[in-house]
Structure 1
Amino acid sequence: MKLSTFLFCCLSLQTMQATAQYDSQAEFSQDRIKTQGDPAIMEKMTRTFEAKYGDADRAKVYLVEAYADRADMNKVRYWLKDFKNQTFQHQAACSAVRILLTNKHYKEAEVLLQPYLHLDLTKEDANGYMGPTLLVYKDDAIRFFYYYAEVQYHKGNYKTAMRYMQAALDVDKGHTFFDFRQRELLALLYMHMGKTSEASMEMHSLISGAPDRNKEFMAAAKKCLPDYQQKVASATAWLYKRIKDETLKKMQTVNIQVPDIQLKDEKGNGFSLSSLRGKTVFIYFWTIDQTDLYDNSFPVLQRVKESYANNPDVVFICIHTYEAAASTATDVANYLDRKGYNLDLYLDLKDPVTKKNPMATALHLESANLERAWEGDYIILNKEGIGKVKRPAGLLNEMGYQVVHGMIDAVRENPEK
């Protein structure tokens, strides 16, 4: 065989393998939605993928996350041992720890962190790994140290927590992984260690970043900075006004015609948006897919809805835009109940002829696209039923409370715009 022919065959084989991997991920991305976040179904799907493609490590990452969200540590440990690729294994462990910490399962998180505590963050090979025995990417290693600092803080071991926090900070030069959560933790550690000036600096940096801080942090902040609450209130008011003013400007050119498509509630009863004319309506479009794991929007929506409890002219509804099985309505309703979200739910069911979700398709929503189904969208309707705001729900982050408030009030108070 000629060398050129041999090289061509090798290249073709690599291309075929890459294509198969891409196809498997695209296939898995769609099938994952059909599991409705049920890890038992995901297990079967993972084994099917492994038999078909010889590798299902990416699928196992999602599976570990699903079990971590349920704090099923036997399953988490079982599947972490089942990875073929160490890098994916460590990424899954990192995600699992993050989910456990978010759900306040500190003991369980500490167990998963144990294998990574001996890593020397100052030593990195040419490929970006910390080793030599564990092939852990430096990014994941830094996160492990931040997470362990959080665990130790909640155990009251402030010196140990600070040691791991500082070790991570020393190599995380650009503060790439030092988010609001880590900065808040650092401020609290400084407070507990009597370093009030350092704590003050961190607290000042958080004033305009995310006004909605937790109670423990706010209590510590008041001791360190007596006027902290006033500064937070000022930052909050500034953000609310800015969003409201920006929304008012954009509303003049935004007129989204929302079709009055017949929707169904979880019991099969019919519902149409026209029944809400005369009210300001906030509609959140979503699919259950991985909302169970990356649950950022619903806590914000729940709080905003509660803040309008005495204003019957503002209505909040959720429209689910993808059904994978006959049980979808029940699955979605159970999800909201399990999380404690009191949000009215309706289903944008597929048209039997077009096989598409009519509302999502008509409005060109991201939630109609299976590849990005977990991002969702939201639309705010004025009293005439015209959409005046349309945004991707991924923007509902820590600052989302004031953002949503500002947009709703802009629409509610200016029906003529």
Structure 2
Amino acid sequence: MRKTIPVLLSAVLATGIQSAYAQKKPAADTLTKHYQTLLKGNDADRSQLESEMYALLKTKKEENWITASNFVYQLKKANVSDSIRKAAEKRFPGGILERNNAVQSIYDEKDPVNKEQLLSAWIKKYPPKKFGPDRIIYDYARNAVGMAYTEAGNLPKALEYANSIESPFWKGQAWAGTAGILIKQGHYAEAKTLLRKAVDNAWEFKTTRKNETGAGFAAIGYPGYLSSYVACLYEEKQYDSALIYIRRAEKAEDPVRPSVIEMYAKILLSKGDYDTAYTKLSNLAGRGLLNPITRKQLEEAYTKVRGVSGFQPYLDSLKGHLNSNIEEEMAKQIIKQPAPNFTLKDVDGNTVSLADLKGKTVVLDFWATWCGPCKASFPSMKKAMEKYKDDPNVKFLFVHTWEKEENAAVSAKKFITQNNYPFQVLMDLKDPNTGENKVVSSYEVKGIPTKFVIDKNGDIRFRFTGFTAGEDAAVSEVAAMINLANK
């Protein structure tokens, strides 16, 4: 799969740092908000937006042409947008678009030495100083080279590139990404150094630098970086130090992510503190967030604290109130609006229409093969399907959308088959004229995975974006939405 070049991000950042217009003209960020307002408006507003975009094509700034291409695309005129982009590439040789297209060769190359040579040639041809202060696309390229060297086991080069990132808000991501591979290779000391810098960087963006560009992105990694740092301490058997830092990770967010509790329990069990591990893991089980590892940890702690028998009944008792609690919470989120109708082909060529499913409760799951969180939710969705396998009035449909490759249907079918998922996958393919995935657009989906529960009358009753990490909780959420939709 080809890496998506962040043309839009670069364009936005470039626009944001442009000098203000003359005194009586709005600043660039005000113009962007103006365009977005028109885009969300009525037909007259959108017509005005289109006129203003064509006016931008009379200017001599490539950033304006990129803006025009992006907004024309959002006006569902993919062919026109593509024509503008191609014209811009010819009109502005050596510019932003040419640079962003040229970087693809670096991502495509597998050998780290060749990758580095391509990077050097690319930077020489498109020197950063020519494009203003934005450095993120250069950081992405450097990171790609660095990760290739890291995977190849070249420690000096791995560290060199991990420390070469220039965008302040992205430094932590680069350090932590390299450190993750180093941990797998057993280079704990080097990984610790990188992770400690990532932790400190994220903490600064959470506190003293929270108003800087990208602060939210930089800060969100704090608990994860701490957990990875603790993993290094654990491998070196520095359990007391590991406890200090895992407690910081635990306090960093509410609710605490399951991976932090998993690492916490790992340390506690190694120290023989079964009582504390038992308490923390029991709380996790009560939230329905156990995975195979934490379940095994809880069983170990339970055996030490309460003996060898009765673990499964205890586990069931912890989950006893889960379904009722989740249904009570889901009841607060119920909605009622007509579900847009659609007719799509599945990966086997069968035609499926939502109208034909009236009288059934339909669970609609928008996903894509490139979407990690989508795929991570599938074991839970498989369990949810199994729960309703004997109920002919509940139908699960998985709509693959926002495809990024030509043979999307083949890839989707291959993924589902290889993982033994019993899903019926529908293909919401891109319209060749508008560039729009019509079904996902009609449901106004902004990110995937997004799930809908549609009742027997064809009304959307629930909309849920993202996924819950624990299988028990995720299955209970789906079940609660189905039950409430049927009332």
**TM-score normalized by structure 1?**
0.66
Q: 1:402 aligns with which of 472, 476, 482?
A: 476
Q: Note if 1:43 corresponds to 2:107.
A: yes
Residue 239 (structure 1) aligns with: 322
What do you get for the CA RMSD once the two structures are aligned?
5.1
Q: Note if 1:203 corresponds to 2:203.
A: no
- Segments of structure 2 that go 5 or more residues without pairing to the other structure are 1-16, 22-26, 33-62, 75-102, 110-117, 210-217
Letter aligned with residue 389 of structure 1: R
Q: 1:175 aligns with which of 238, 245, 252?
A: 252
Q: Note if 1:93 corresponds to 2:166.
A: no
Q: Return closer, same or farther for 1:283/1:17 CA change in 2, 3 Å cut-off.
A: closer
- Cα distance between partner residues in 2 of 1:237 and 1:210: 10
Q: Note if 1:316 corresponds to 2:390.
A: no
8 Å contact kept, 1:61–1:89: no
Q: Return closer, same or farther for 1:388/1:203 CA change in 2, 3 Å cut-off.
A: same
- Cα distance between partner residues in 1 of 2:241 and 2:323: 38
User: Counterparts in 2 of 1:12-411, with a 5 A limit?
Assistant: 12=20, 43=107, 51=126, 53=131, 57=136, 77=158, 80=162, 83-85=165-167, 88-95=170-177, 106-107=184-185, 110=188, 113-116=191-194, 143-150=224-231, 153=234, 159-169=237-247, 174-176=251-253, 179-214=257-292, 215-226=295-306, 230=313, 232-245=315-328, 247=330, 254-259=336-341, 261-289=342-370, 291-292=371-372, 295-337=375-417, 341-352=421-432, 354-366=434-446, 373=447, 375-384=448-457, 386-398=458-470, 399-411=473-485
Q: Return closer, same or farther for 1:97/1:381 CA change in 2, 3 Å cut-off.
A: farther
8 Å contact kept, 1:263–1:347: yes
8 Å contact kept, 2:239–2:271: no
Residue 6 (structure 1) aligns with: none
Query: Displacement of 1:254 after TM fit?
Result: 1.8
**TM-score normalized by structure 2?**
0.58
Letter aligned with residue 459 of structure 2: G
Q: Return closer, same or farther for 1:205/1:175 CA change in 2, 3 Å cut-off.
A: farther
Query: Displacement of 1:144 after TM fit?
Result: 3.9
Q: Which has the higher contact order (CA 8 A, sep 6+)?
A: 1
Q: Return closer, same or farther for 1:120/1:393 CA change in 2, 3 Å cut-off.
A: closer
Work out the percentage of aligned pairs sharing the same amino acid: 18
- Segments of structure 1 that go 5 or more residues without pairing to the other structure are 1-8, 31-38, 130-136, 367-372
For residues 278-323 of structure 1, give each alpha carbon's deviation from its aligned partner in whole angstroms, at most 9, with x where no partner exists.
Answer: 543211013445x136754223212322333444543322112323
Partner SS, residue 426 of structure 2: strand
For residues 17-68 of structure 1, give each alpha carbon's deviation from its aligned partner in whole angstroms, at most 9, with x where no partner exists.
Answer: 9997xx89x97xx9xxxxxxxx978826997899484755368559969998
Q: Return closer, same or farther for 1:320/1:42 CA change in 2, 3 Å cut-off.
A: farther
Q: Based on CA coordinates, which of the two structures has the bigger radius of gyration?
A: 2
